[in-house]
Amino acid sequence: MRYFSTNGRSAVVGFREALLQGQPEDGGLYFPNEIPNLAELAVRPWREGGEAETAFSLMRPYVGGEIPDADLEAICGDAIDFPFPLAEITPGIFALELFRGPTLAFKDVGARFMSRCLGHFSGSIGKRTVVIVATSGDTGGAVAHGFAGVEGVSVVILFPKGRVSRVQELQLTRSDKNVITLEVHGSFDDCQRLAKTALSDRELRNKYFLTSANSINIARWLPQQTYYFAARRQFPDAKSVFSVPSGNFGNIAAGLIAKRAGLGARSFIAACNANNVVPKYLETGQYIPEPSKRTLSNAMDVGDPSNLARIRQLFNDDLDLIRENMATASISDEETVATIRKVHAEFGYTMDPHTAVGFASLEKLAKSGPSEIGVVLATAHPVKFDSVSDILSNNIDVPDAVARLGDRERRSIEIGNSYSEMIDAIKKSL
């Protein structure tokens, strides 16, 4: 498998180089030059514990033999050692619970797979590896956990100060010594801008080996197809509508490439909050980035989603084709609150705000037939969001793994949103 830049001005590379570089020099995103046919995987009989086997079958063609099969199988088994259960909310509508991993968020899948792939190649790099990641909440925690204590690797995490939940902040600031956490006085878009600038900094690149761990990186992004196939295999005779809470659009881009590979899903919904630049783009044909707006579903507060470039590439920038394959909805905070309350009161299911946006979007847009099911991606555990307890006037049980974080030393550095401040903090800490 070879990978090219969506901007079309960088060299075509293999899996190893795309993983290690993170982002092409021309500022685009890596994209596979072919989509494998995985239709057989979508209908293969499901068995308990089949998540790792699904990941191996899925990623094998994308890795293209650059990791031996035995090693790749071990990587998948180690990275994805938790289930993706489907919880029925109402007849025909299911929550795909992607928060069963160690940091209680769907980002665990890609972050753990990427860290182990990077570890596989680390001996051949020749200098210290620095992973730089911007996060709106969950990515950073998953990356910090996935790379904790990895020899020869340092991690730099940037998150917007005051714009993540209490549990997310605990996960971001109670990390191992090889993780540098920067609290940025600004938005997620500021964090993403700083991370992208650092990744192309020639001085840094001369001293360290730089890569990313956002969904920018193919080893973070492509494994996310795993849970779509895992869900699909459990309903082989039904057409599925996937409603995907969408911020930086990596998750739904993975779903759409899975559909092209033979997933068998009927349609996808990009479920957005008030940050609705993509719904506006599909409506008007004009893509106009906007400053991000703060919402209850904070991990989706993105005003210029990077992975839209991959969706546009997948469909050859044909707006009509994008519209055929991806519907969009924009859900307000008021609608999010009402959905959390309704689903909890009527069905006894507790949702985080992002999942609630997905459920509300599915209710708004899906047209179910007798052989169709709706699948809402439950992207995070509700305990990660203080607002859920306030909305329901009910305490949510805190998993032990989260409760223990409060006993650890807080480690973080506050900076403004200028590149010079970030670079100074990184140089002092590495």
Record the tokens describing residue 405, joined without a space.
Answer: 């974080």
End-to-end CA distance of the chain: 34
Distance CA 373, CA 390 (A): 31
- Nearest by Cα to 138 from 179, 174, 96, 106: 106
- The answer to whether 107 is a known catalytic residue is yes
Distance CA 83, CA 338 (A): 29
Work out the number of other CB atoms within 10 angstroms of the CB of residue 332.
15
Distance CA 127, CA 295 (A): 41
Record the tokens describing residue 221, joined without a space.
Answer: 């992004």
What contacts 36, CB < 8 A, 6 or more positions away?
61, 62, 261
Packing angle between helix 138-146 and helix 107-121, nearest 10 degrees? Answer: 40
Give CA torsion, residues 7, 184, 137, 345, to 10 deg.
-130
* Residue 63: Cβ-neighbour burial (10 angstroms; 0-12, 13-18, 19+): buried
Please give the angle made by the CA atoms of 91, 368 and 257, to the nearest 5 degrees: 105
Q: What are phi and psi of 392, to 5 degrees?
A: -95, -5
Whether 271 contacts 331, CB under 8 Å: yes
**Active-site option among 107, 196, 259, 384:** 107
Q: Which residues are identified as catalytic?
A: 107
